[in-house]
Chain A
């Protein structure tokens, strides 16, 4: 068994922390784990994806196209852009947040206005969350990652206690409580 999770978002949204959190939870369950991150120029407000794989034996840290069990998207356009990683029957968890990329800000292109409809129609197994509003409810816009991971955790084969322990280990000390509140909000989202 190998579980493959792609996390897509905009540089600065906290995708790195999300992938490290999954990596930590899976490691503590004794799985073989590989996490692939993005550093440098691509982090600066660009489109970023990170990969997490865990299971009996993981070979490539990079997930092949069309083979991800789960795609977690922090932003609508990024859900659309990286859907190519999701396997048939895989689970898409997407925030409904929209962040205009520069070609839209400079009016060179339009932000597609039908993303949620297109994705709902094509993907059998998808969940849309207004993660930004939930994060604000938890106490900070920065907690979007814990909301989305919380939702993913509910359908995962890793128990809730393990997730909370991993969160306590990975989240910055000052923000642990906030992230736990956010994780619970995501976990209980239906």
Chain B
């Protein structure tokens, strides 16, 4: 019987069935659930690596060592892993290697909208692209045969709507793959100029062979129905197109790279008018146009944002969907941007930073929400690890005095991911500045993954925990302080003291994520009406549970988790906690 699975879970099932032995990944929405699901299979040795580069190097070398291996990441994670990616294309594999990369058109949970297909083309690695969960599983399995047949890593491109949609998927048994023998082979596995020159010639030939493979492979599906209109599409965009015009002709590309020009021409020769429907970059479209196939693509469809059935229908036919509120002024409807959860430990720290009116270099995680109203205390956020190196950038540009008004913030998992190198840069290059590690004992935004800072492995078992205080000291940070971000008074006083010192300083703001099962706040907070002077200080922490209604402060019982941060902010003792 078929089961309803997320495509991410289906990839995990595919890995299991393909006899994969090693999985190393770093979490990132929308890719995270693949490795989480893998961790439930005891036949697969899985781990969370500190970052994507490490993860890919581990998986790549396990493949060299003879085990079918896998690595997953989000699109921006592939930037981090790009270094091993490009050279692994030259080295190839022993047992198969699959790298899943999940793009995020529409940026549901990302800082940019890059199209990973460019990486396939740039690194000359074959890329498969499923449209639903069954394909996610099937393509995962076939990827290992392709990897071993062509001596190449394989990329599997997912996107948010594929990864996070559930559809029915059939299961098969696991095929055990004994370890391939490992034989030392420096010509193949050591990339120095002499070896790499030989290899580059080989991968150029490999791509030509793969174009032939793409022509005959059933991963690409041609369906000729109405010869007047045809669509070339892939991934989720194929599903949308199919819903708009079920009776048109289709060339569904399961192999995003390399494209078979012969196949494109064959389709074009049978269909009068062709639309290329691809989210983000016009990669298929440009290939078609370069070989003289006249297609309609980005002149009617956007490069930005995600597609939908409505969008495609509108751009092709001009249809407007039915709407009960077509004459209602939607500008009156307030937006609902994401906010930190009630009880979030970051809220206390950002409240303190706002009070101190500091310039704050930020990073990627739940705490990036500290940039939004009403905490509004983050100045910059570029990528994972930038919270620390950006602080040094301010220092270099604006001098040491500016560091008295500036701090860098970074999460615990992010600090291990790529923050430590930034901190070494500050120390080594005689920088000053205060770095605050927001240690909430978990990788939060991606849905609670363990990391080297909390001392638990992917399965929740105890392992060696990083001693961040010792680590800081060993790289030359002499000042290390630990604060509780809910103790606002202490937090303000410690931060004030540290920014004044003209040397590198590390503050660890330590309090666990409120959503962790181990965190148990009890009771609810109530307003003592006699004491409340309606100063609204409690509202400045930006907690969803606190609002001003009917001319008084109201606390929504269904939202309050009793963390008590607001009590610490009220100077009039008007907020009190009642235990249930």
Which residues of A approach B to under 8 Å, CB–CB? 10-12, 20, 23-24, 27, 32-47, 58-62, 64-67, 77-78, 80-81, 83-84, 86-88, 97, 99-112, 118, 122-123, 132, 141
A40 touches B544 (CB 8 A): no
Contact A24 B324 (CB under 8 A): no
In the complex the two chains form, is B308's CB within 8 Å of A64's CB? Answer: yes
B325 touches A80 (CB 8 A): yes
Q: What is the CB-to-nearest-CB distance from A169 to chain B, in angstroms, rounded to a whole number? A: 11
Is B548 on the interface with A (CB-CB < 8 A)?
A: yes
Choose from A27, A43, A102 the contact partner of B168 (Cβ within 8 Å). Answer: A27
* Interface members, chain B 520-550 (any A CB < 8 Å): 539, 542, 544, 546-549
Chain A residues with Cβ below 8 Å from B445 are 40-41, 44
Q: Is B109 an interface residue (CB 8 A)?
A: yes
Interchain residue pairs A-B with the least CB separation, the first 6: A40-B109, A40-B29, A46-B338, A66-B321, A66-B322, A61-B165
Given contacts A62-B161, A84-B323, contact A33 B336 (CB under 8 A): no
Q: Is the CB of A102 within 8 A of B108?
A: no
Q: Which residues of chain A have C-beta atoms less than 8 A from B446's C-beta?
A: 40
A64 touches B547 (CB 8 A): no
- Bound-state CA distance A39–B7 (Å) is 13
In contact, A34 and B167 (Cβ under 8 angstroms): yes
A105 near B321 (CB under 8 angstroms)?
A: no
The secondary structure that dominates the B interface is loop
Which B residue sits closest to A142, measured CB to CB?
A: B558
The number of residue pairs between A and B whose CB atoms lie closer than 8 Å in the complex comes to: 192
Interface residue from B6, B330, B558 paired with A37 (Cβ < 8 Å): B6
> B165 near A35 (CB under 8 angstroms)?
yes
Q: Pick the residue among B167, B239, B335 that contacts A103 (CB under 8 A).
A: B335
Q: Are B334 and A104 in contact (CB under 8 A)?
A: yes
| B207 contacts the other chain (CB 8 A) | no
Complex contact B108–A38 (CB within 8 A): yes
Q: Is B339 an interface residue (CB 8 A)?
A: yes
Which of B144-152, B368-376, B494-502 contacts its partner? B368-376
B321 touches A61 (CB 8 A): no
Complex contact B339–A46 (CB within 8 A): yes
Closest A residue to B1 using CB positions: A27
Instruction: For the complex, give the distance between the alpha carbons of A34 and B339 in Å.
Output: 29
- What are 14 sample pairs from A and B whose C-beta atoms fall under 8 A apart? A10-B336, A33-B168, A35-B167, A36-B161, A40-B29, A42-B338, A46-B338, A61-B166, A61-B236, A62-B236, A65-B310, A83-B323, A105-B546, A112-B333
Q: How far is the CA of A61 from the CA of B332 in the complex (A)?
A: 30
The answer for the CA separation of A46 and B309 in the assembled complex, in Å, is: 24
Across-interface contacts of A132 in B (CB, < 8 A): 558
* B524 vs chain A, min Cβ distance (A): 11
Instruction: Give the CA-CA distance A64 to B313 in the complex, in Å.
Output: 10
Q: Determine if B164 is an interface residue (Cβ-Cβ < 8 Å).
A: yes
1/0 contact string of B317-345 vs chain A (CB within 8 Å):
00001111100101011111111110000
Distance (Å) between the CB of A76 and the closest chain B CB?
Answer: 11
**A12 — which chain B residues lie within 8 A by C-beta?**
341
Besides the known contacts A27-B4, A64-B243, A83-B325, 4 further A-B residue pairs in the complex with CB atoms under 8 A apart: A12-B341, A37-B6, A83-B324, A106-B542
User: Contacts A60-B243, A80-B333 known; A42 to B108 CB distance under 8 Å?
Assistant: yes
Knowing A66-B321, A99-B556, A118-B328, say if A35 contacts B336 (CB, 8 Å): no
Contact pick for A86, options B324, B328, B558, CB 8 Å:
B324
Q: Closest residue to A135 on the B side, CB-wise?
A: B558
B544 touches A100 (CB 8 A): yes
Residues of B participating in the A interface, judged by any CB pair closer than 8 Å: 2-4, 6, 29-30, 32-33, 108-109, 132, 161, 164-168, 236, 239-240, 242-243, 246, 308-310, 313, 321-325, 328, 330, 332-341, 366, 368-369, 372-374, 445-447, 539, 542, 544, 546-549, 556-559
Residues of A within 8 A of B334 (CB): 77, 101, 103-104, 108-111
The docked-state distance in angstroms from the alpha carbon of A81 to that of B330 is 8
Contact of A33 among B109, B166, B337 (CB under 8 A): B166
Q: How far is the CA of A64 from the CA of B308 in the complex (A)?
A: 7
Are A105 and B164 closer than 8 Å at their CB atoms? no
Contact between chains at A105 and B544 (CB < 8 Å): yes
Picked from A77, A111, A122, A141, the residue with its CB within 8 Å of the CB of B558 is A141
Residue numbers in A under 8 Å from B109 (CB-CB): 39-42
A60 and B240 contact, Cβ closer than 8 Å, known pairs A32-B168, A80-B333: yes
Closest to B165 in A: A61
The answer on a CB contact under 8 Å between B372 and A45 is: no
Q: In the assembled complex, which residues on chain A have CB atoms less than 8 Å from the CB atom of B546?
A: 105
Cα A61 to Cα B133 with chains together (Å): 11
In the complex, the chain B residue whose C-beta lies closest to that of A109 is B334
Whether A45 lies near B4 (C-beta < 8 A) is no
- CB pair A44–B161 under 8 Å, yes or no, is no
Contacts of A106 in B (CB 8 A): 373-374, 539, 542
B340–A44 touching, CB < 8 Å:
yes
A23 touches B239 (CB 8 A): no
A164 to B128 alpha-carbon distance, docked (Å) = 40
Do residues A102 and B240 form an inter-chain contact, with CB atoms below 8 A?
no
Q: How far is the CA of A167 from the CA of B546 in the complex (A)?
A: 33
| Beta-carbon contact of A44 and B341 below 8 Å | yes
Task: Choose from B167, B339, B557 the contact partner of A44 (Cβ within 8 Å).
Answer: B339
- The residue among A59, A88, A101 with the most chain B CB atoms within 10 A of its own CB is A59
Residues of A contacting B33 in the complex (Cβ-Cβ under 8 angstroms): 39
| Beta-carbon contact of A105 and B547 below 8 Å | yes
Chain B residue nearest in CB terms to A84 = B323
Structural contact, B309 and A62, CB atoms closer than 8 A: yes
Known contacts: A27-B168, A40-B29, A41-B109. The answer to whether A64 contacts B310 by CB under 8 A is yes
Q: Give the CA-CA distance A62 to B108 in the complex, in Å.
A: 15
Q: Given the complex, which residues of B lie within 8 Å of A112, measured CB to CB?
A: 332-333
Contact of B369 among A44, A60, A81, A110 (CB under 8 A): A44
Distance of A42 Cα from B325 Cα, bound (Å):
24
User: How far is the CB of A168 from the nearest CB of chain B, in Å?
Assistant: 16
CA distance A105 to B553 in the complex (A): 11
Closest Cβ of chain A: how far from B297's Cβ, in Å?
20
Evaluate contact between A60 and B309: CB separation under 8 angstroms.
yes
A59 touches B243 (CB 8 A): yes
Task: Give Cα distance in the complex from A78 to B557, angstroms.
Answer: 20
B333: chain A residues at CB < 8 Å are: 77, 80-81, 112
